[in-house]
A and B are shown apart, each in its own frame.
Chain A
Amino acid sequence: MSEPRAGHRNASPHTALTRAIGSRMSYTQRGYAWRRTLARLRTRPFASGLTLLVLGIVLAMPVLLSFLAGALDELRGNEDQGATLTAYLSLDVADLDGASLATQLAARPGIQSTRYVSRDEALATFRAESDLGDALDVLGSNPLPGAIVIAPERATAGRQRMQALATEIEQISDIERVRYDLQWVERLRAVVAVARVAAALLAGFLTLTALLVVGNTIRLELLDRRSEREVSHLLGASRSFMNRPFVYTGLLYGLLGGLIATGLAIAAFSLLKRPADELAGLYGAQMGLSWPPKALIGLIPATGALLGLVGALSTLYGPSRQRIYADA
């Protein structure tokens, strides 16, 4: 038995009591549970920190994947919306006729809008966007045809429907040919579909891992706080009273792990965003990866807390509880 501390032994009873008594909240049953939970985190900062980091990393992956899936969905949606057909007119079609044809096409079902691009406008654009402008001067006349840019309705988007629309428009006498380039959008859609399934599977596995991490942490805590449980049991504590600090521990680990995961996922997304935007630019996309909505980001710590709670409850009240209580 170690010797008592001399300083405290000389303390007046009133001083000692004043120092000893905690806050009003900490003597309620829930306050007591929170106090014990926080005290455990404080007294084992390294072990607690490591557990939180593991949880944060495990949760960050599905979070990042959900960020990416959402951003790719949005990107795909934008490309679907931005997909257009370009109908090139015969060289002898006058601007007035071309514009009139564009108006007629806009009235057709399946077409949302049209825009007539005159031969002069096409030439000006070509000069501005290519290095071959000077070469056109050699030709003496404008070799570029007028064109009608056709934006189909959203319901018409999709490779087969666009193909059908293009064939239909090509039948019109003043139109030489119709060009559309949706292959990369189709490929992106397929890649996103596969990625979504893979992400869902990975997210499932990682969520299960997070549950196991929390469960195992609670199990170790149970073993470590065996004497507290024994004493509480002898003093007439109910199982819910004894389990409450462990439930709160799971909740807190989940919440803090979720916050760490949010930070990690945002950092990783920031790193990925720039090269992804550049890649999207190479495919002519008007916009790259966009940030997930704030509400989704806010949900992550809450989801982490829920996972922590489920992990703790399943350990304390699930099928393995008899074995745990026998060990503890």
Chain B
Amino acid sequence: MITFDSVSLRYSGGKAALENISFSLETGSFTFLTGHSGAGKSSLLRLIARLERPTSGRIDVGGIDYSRLKPRRELALRRQMGVIFQDNQLLNDRNLFDNVALPLIIGGYGYNDIVTRVSAALHRVGLEHAADMQPETLSGGEQQRAGIARALVARPRLLLADEPTGNLDAAMSEDIMQLLLQFHRSGVTVLFATHDTELLARHRFAQLKLAGGRSVSPRGLSDTSLAQHQIPRRSESHV
């Protein structure tokens, strides 16, 4: 589903964020993207989300060659992905319902569809009771769950999670992890960037390791085919 072929990314200052990265992820896989801060994890996710363009190399997501992608299609492509951030990026000027509804409004969904999907998404992450609350009044774990609800409300097939447990304690991290696993079981492909070694030890999924912008072959796993350790797909997601 996701293929990187000799991809490099160099920012305008000349600093190389990624160098010669090649890998391939299968549809429905759950993959950890690991590495220390500054290793290039966020840059790699931004490339997949088409928020950055590679300096060289080829990226293919779901059969779409990014080099041939027209700007209008880029937006449509991004709407088909779910993105979760470390700082959840919820908007404090509106309640939780409206935060989660934003991707659907952007996507031009109808009112009934929005109400149904947002209610279901909040229910799924256990925040239905907090629909009318402002994000800043929620705990860190709840905010992150709300971020997950927003990322998944449009039922994307691909979820990019950029250190979603970075600010959370071990219990909350596990809570978030279980939630992501639920979605993964319903068929969502997950690429989870983290440097939380405890989390990595508890959940043995395929890892794509980055160090200094370069791919480091993970122990026991090939970085060109990371389809192993998938959890079997269940029925379609309810979110």
Interface residues of A (CB under 8 A from B): 1-5, 8-9, 11-13, 16-17, 19-22, 24, 27-29, 32, 39, 43, 227-228, 230-238, 241
Contacts and interface: CB of A to CB of B under 8 A. Distances in A.
Given A17-B97, A227-B91, A4 B133 contact: yes
A241 B103 CA distance: 12
B139 A1 contact: yes
A19 B130 CA distance: 10
A43 B128 contact: no
Contacts of A2: 136-137
B138 interface: yes
Contacts of B138: 1, 4
Residue of A20, A232, A233 most packed against chain B (CB within 10 A): A20
B131 interface: yes
Main secondary structure of the interface of B (DSSP, over half): helix
A8 B114 contact: no
Contacts of B158: none
A233 B131 CA distance: 23
Contacts of A230: 89
B51 interface: yes
Interface stretch (B27-35, B58-66, B72-80): B72-80
A16 B79 contact: no
A316 B95 CA distance: 28
Contact of A236 (B75, B94, B97, B137): B75
B103 A235 contact: yes
B131 A236 contact: no
Given A8-B132, A8-B133, A24-B111, A235 B98 contact: no
B123 interface: yes
Nearest to B167: A1
Given A19-B132, A24-B111, A230-B89, A1 B78 contact: no
B5 interface: no
A282 to B, nearest CB: 60
B200 interface: no
A16 B91 contact: no
A248 to B, nearest CB: 15
Contact of B83 (A8, A9, A11, A234): A234
B96 interface: yes
B78 A235 contact: yes
A16 B100 CA distance: 14
Nearest to A33: B105
A128 to B, nearest CB: 75
25 contacts: A1-B138, A1-B143, A5-B133, A8-B129, A8-B133, A11-B132, A12-B129, A13-B128, A13-B129, A20-B98, A21-B97, A27-B105, A27-B114, A28-B105, A29-B106, A32-B105, A43-B93, A228-B91, A228-B93, A230-B89, A235-B103, A235-B106, A236-B78, A236-B79, A236-B103
Given A235-B103, A238-B75, A16 B130 contact: yes
A236 B98 CA distance: 16
Nearest to A231: B89
Interface in B66-90: 72, 75-81, 83, 89
Interface string B100-120: 011111111101001100010
Given A5-B133, A29-B108, A232-B106, A20 B89 contact: no
B91 A29 contact: no
A196 B81 CA distance: 60
B226 interface: no
Contacts of A19: 131-132
Nearest to A19: B132
A9 B129 contact: yes
A4 B130 contact: yes
Contact of A17 (B75, B80, B119, B140): B119
Contacts of B140: 1
A228 B106 CA distance: 12
A20 B91 contact: no
B142 interface: yes
B130 A39 contact: no
A48 to B, nearest CB: 15
B102 A17 contact: no
B142 to A, nearest CB: 7
A140 B201 CA distance: 131
Contacts of B105: 27-29, 32
B44 interface: no
A1 B91 CA distance: 15
Given A13-B123, A17-B132, A227-B89, 12 more contacts: A8-B129, A13-B128, A16-B128, A20-B97, A28-B105, A29-B105, A29-B108, A32-B105, A39-B93, A230-B89, A231-B102, A235-B102
